[in-house]
Structure 1
Amino acid sequence: MKKIFLAIVLCLGTTLIFAQQQDTFKGFKLGLTAHPTFGYIKSDIQGVDGDGLRAGFTYGLLGDFYFAQNYAFSTALKLTTINGQTKETATNEQKIYKLQYIEIPATVKLCTSETNGLKFFGQFGLGNAFNVRAKQDIKGLSSEPVQTDVDIYKNISFYRASLIIGAGAEFAAGEKTKLAGGLTFDNGFTDIKSGSGTLKSSYIGLTLAVYF
């Protein structure tokens, strides 16, 4: 499974670099992103509840392949931290999940026509994430850490799937440079852990990017 994943990453990276180098390929834009995320966990395990938002971070490459003037297939290669926490109602024990993924989303981007260098867009599609690191902090009744940075990688699912919806705006900052900002909701629908019961992680991203 991991060999297949590495092959996908290499193929995607090669495609992005090759497309960017083609002067005749006018329908492609390459960009960089770095922005905060705010993650949370939904639980269907009896006696275990989600316990609010936790901040994370994402950064990486973005690629938009325009197949029409206002429509694009949008993907990326990002390293994303999705944090969240749960609380056991019987013991008040809090578990903080610190999960890091390589994300390769596949979305459709719908844009308005550009007016005075400004255009708006909406996005919808599938998120594909592959876990590369998983740590956990545990807090007791006093809210003091009982354990910190416990390695739980073997207990976390390697693949995470999600539905992505987002909206924002792009502004022309030069002949080819564009700045983008907006909000993205990444709604996880697969179990993030192995074993009985289900925990699903989601996050809201404050999207910031620059396209070249």
Structure 2
Amino acid sequence: MNMKKLITLIFVFFLVNNLQAQYRDGADFKLGLTAHPTIGWIRSDVNSINSDGVKLGFSYGVLGDFLFRESYAFSTALKLTTINGKTESTEGATTNKQTYKLQYIEIPAKLKLLTGDDKEVRFYGEFGLGNAFNVRAKADVKSNNSANTAEGLDIYKRTSFYRGSIIIGGGAEIATSGKTRILAGLTFDNGFTDIQKGDGALKSSYLGINLGVFF
């Protein structure tokens, strides 16, 4: 069994067991929506390829928090997330600047810690595993060699299907009316798997400026 399948199985096992325990204990469930920008970049372990700055992306989808204690929750989501980034590579006298446009379905598994629920504002911190599955991959290439220049190049077959990451973040939930709460915070999603197939190691990360609402 390869590492990709093993990580997926561990995540599914963890999710199912947590949901069963939460429903058995009569835990609360919060459902919400999110839509927010991401600031992405790509790190390189290849000598001839360097990171070339950040690029804006976007993320939106459904949030779910399963509270199994007053201040502890299992937090997950189903999001469509675009992680963009730029690299610069040199081959002899040729310099290529490549902009990656990678789109994933994200299903994170996080532990969320919250302050007491007797306040209109609850602060939180979270830590967990990011699980993302590639659904589209394109690239723009600018080069001093016109033969290498391309726009909207489909690179899906050259990219990895699974992207694993470590997530750390924090923010606040602000009560408005009834059970409705506005979510605002920051998330650092640090990728640790190669985004491309074959040799080399390019790893994508992003900073998410979280905005959402729980109902």
TM-score (norm 1): 0.86
Q: Equivalent pairs: percent with the same residue?
A: 59
* Match in the other structure for 1:48: 49
Give 1:27's aligned amino acid.
D
2:200 corresponds to 1:200: no
Q: 2:181 aligns with which of 178, 184, 187?
A: 178
Rounded Cα–Cα distance in structure 2 between residues aligned with 1:203 and 1:120 = 22
> What is the deviation of 1:106?
0.0
Shift of the 202–66 alpha-carbon distance from structure 1 to 2, 3 Å rule, reads same
| Cα displacement string for residues 103-143 of structure 1 (whole angstroms, at most 9, x for unaligned residues) | 00000000011354001000000000000000010012399
The structural deviation recorded for 1:47 is: 1.1
Q: Counterpart of 2:129?
A: 126
1:98 counterpart residue number:
101
Counterpart among 154, 162, 173 of residue 159 in structure 1: 162
Amino acid at match of 2:81: T
Alignment of 1:14-93 (within 5 A): 27-90=28-91, 91-93=94-96
Give deviations 1:142-197, integer Å, cap 9, x for gaps.
99x92111111000000000000000000001111000100000000000000111
Runs of 4+ in 1 over 6 A off after TM superposition: none
Partners of 2:86 and 2:72 in 1: how far apart?
A: 37
**Equivalent in 79, 104, 107 of residue 110 of structure 2:** 107
Q: Give the 3-state SS of the residue equivalent to 1:108 in structure 2.
A: strand
Structure 2: any 5+ residue segments left out of the alignment?
none
The total of aligned residue pairs comes to: 196
TM-score, structure 2 normalization: 0.85
Unaligned stretches of 5+ in structure 1? Answer: 17-21
